[in-house]
Amino acid sequence: MASDYAAFIACDYCLKRKIDVPAAIAIVGFDDHIVASMRRITSYNYNFAAVASKIVHFLLRPNEGFWSKRRVVEVRGNVMERETA
């Protein structure tokens, strides 16, 4: 899905059509909104806490050796497995 909101719509559609999620189709959202957790929708979490930490670290110490060696910093997110995948 493009977002958790789209995943909500897809889940509702499948429920109305009696399509078994996740046996017949897996639905995965893509921003791990709190409502995704409440509705038990599997979603991708960008790990915003780690992203914010990297940004603050760069802003406070932009000339540190770490940043001179790296132009791109990878921050891994997580798939939050719930009931739809």
Asked whether the beta carbons of 44 and 28 are under 8 A apart, the reply is yes
- Per-residue pLDDT at 10 exceeds 90: yes
Condensed to tens digits (0 to 9), the pLDDT of residues 21-66 reads: 999 999 999 999 998 999 999 999 999 999 999 889 888 988 877 7
Residue 34 tokens read as 């709190």
State the pLDDT at residue 21.
Answer: 95
pTM for the full predicted model? 0.75
8-state DSSP, 18: T
Could you give the count of Cα atoms lying within 13 Å of 55 in the half-sphere of its Cβ? 6
pLDDT band at 5; cut points 50, 70, 90: very high
Q: Which amino acid is at 42?
A: T
Domain boundaries, the chain: 4-80
| Average predicted confidence (pLDDT) for the chain | 91
